Chains A and B, each alone.
Chain A
């Protein structure tokens, strides 16, 4: 697996974790836990965004990575 592929895998698992956190935030009734999950989901989202940029850069530098 090339680095770009690996980064994309990480990106995918982060996205899944982010979705899970949002589900937890919606399903819990406890206010404190809700806030915690929402905050974590936001942090994860920002990391996902940054990683997405990095993947974009990689694809520009090495067009052969594109699409993996």
Chain B
């Protein structure tokens, strides 16, 4: 067998083995990698490269240490899952860097982190002034997470005392001009409904690049032809405006009429509609 063929076979086997081992270790490896897991990953990759290249030793001799590394890594993460103490030992503990707005210099020293690095980490979190920080912690993976002081946190509806309607995730129902049945059925509609909606907006299915339906059943479209303007769904704000107008009308009639009983009736109705509008506002305007 010529050398290049045996090299090719080795490469394919090593590649496959690496893929299988990487799958076994799991996808956690990439996202919340600890320093140790990072090294294990590199070591396994390195071994795969070596056994491909080294034609003198048989292939299985290289696969054994790869498997050993993989199962050791899995074993360690299993141990870490089971007890808090082994978790602290193997995966390391998070260390608080700033508490109550004060930098903990001793902990900085323990992590061998300079003031510049700390500031850089804060800046990457969009904080340029240390006095805006309530709490900062270095995770075992080395990333610094920051809790800004409550007056420096982004404004949320909750802080404003504003009521907002719950809004579940939208579903993609059209991709590249084809209907996605899975998304449609998840949100509780069918093809017939979708075709009706498309007809309402005057758009052919083939011309739709992307279509999404939100929880209130409004269809948002993006077309291949960017020159065509698709009307944004207006049903919710339109209903809100109609109700508002009706409420104002009722108040007007209450003022205009001479009949005492009718006046009272109009006023009562105006009040009812007003109360309803207030309750509906989060759904119709901020939905």
- Point out residues on A near B: beta carbons under 8 Å: 3, 6-7, 9-10, 13-14, 16-17, 20-21, 23-24, 27-30, 32-33, 36-37, 39-40, 43-44, 46-47, 50-51, 54, 57
Q: Say yes or no: is B203 at the interface (Cβ < 8 Å to chain A).
A: no
Check if A33 sits within 8 Å of B276, measured CB to CB. Answer: no
With known contacts A3-B256, A7-B253, A17–B166 Cβ distance under 8 A? no
Q: For A51, what are the chain B residues with a Cβ–Cβ distance below 8 Å?
A: 269
Q: For A36, what are the chain B residues with a Cβ–Cβ distance below 8 Å?
A: 165, 279-280, 283
Check if A10 sits within 8 Å of B246, measured CB to CB. Answer: yes
Q: Say yes or no: is B119 at the interface (Cβ < 8 Å to chain A).
A: no
The distance from the CB of B257 to the nearest CB of chain A, in whole angstroms, is: 8
A29-B188, A54-B265 are known contacts; what are 5 more A-B pairs with Cβ within 8 Å?
Answer: A9-B249, A23-B235, A33-B215, A33-B287, A44-B276
Q: For A46, what are the chain B residues with a Cβ–Cβ distance below 8 Å?
A: 272
Q: For B156, what are the chain A residues with a Cβ–Cβ distance below 8 Å?
A: none
Q: For B144, what are the chain A residues with a Cβ–Cβ distance below 8 Å?
A: none
Check if A33 sits within 8 Å of B253, measured CB to CB. Answer: no
Check if B253 sits within 8 Å of A3, measured CB to CB. Answer: yes
Ordered by A's residue number, 19 sampled pairs between the chains whose C-beta atoms are within 8 Å are A10-B246, A13-B245, A14-B243, A20-B239, A21-B239, A23-B235, A24-B216, A24-B235, A24-B236, A28-B215, A28-B216, A29-B187, A32-B165, A33-B215, A36-B165, A43-B276, A47-B269, A47-B273, A51-B269
Q: For B257, what are the chain A residues with a Cβ–Cβ distance below 8 Å?
A: 3
Mask of B157-181 contacts with A, CB within 8 angstroms, 1/0:
0000000011010000000000000
With known contacts A17-B243, A28-B217, A30-B166, A40–B279 Cβ distance under 8 A? yes
Q: Say yes or no: is B262 at the interface (Cβ < 8 Å to chain A).
A: yes
Most chain A CB within a 10 A radius of its CB, from B215, B242, B250, B273: B242
Nearest residue, chain B, Cβ from A42: B276
Mask of B231-258 contacts with A, CB within 8 angstroms, 1/0:
0000110110011011001100100110
Check if B253 sits within 8 Å of A6, measured CB to CB. Answer: yes
Q: For A50, what are the chain B residues with a Cβ–Cβ distance below 8 Å?
A: 265, 269
The 3 closest A-B pairs by CB, nearest first: A27-B217, A10-B249, A20-B239
Check if B215 sits within 8 Å of A30, measured CB to CB. Answer: yes
The distance from the CB of B194 to the nearest CB of chain A, in whole angstroms, is: 12
The distance from the CB of A21 to the nearest CB of chain B, in whole angstroms, is: 7
Check if B217 sits within 8 Å of A6, measured CB to CB. Answer: no
Most chain B CB within a 10 A radius of its CB, from A21, A33, A57: A33
With known contacts A28-B215, A32-B166, A33-B165, A16–B265 Cβ distance under 8 A? no
Check if B249 sits within 8 Å of A17, measured CB to CB. Answer: no
The distance from the CB of A6 to the nearest CB of chain B, in whole angstroms, is: 7
Q: How far apart sit A17 and B262, CA to CA, in the bound complex (Å)?
A: 23
With known contacts A6-B253, A28-B215, A30-B166, A43–B262 Cβ distance under 8 A? no
Q: How far apart sit A47 and B253, CA to CA, in the bound complex (Å)?
A: 14
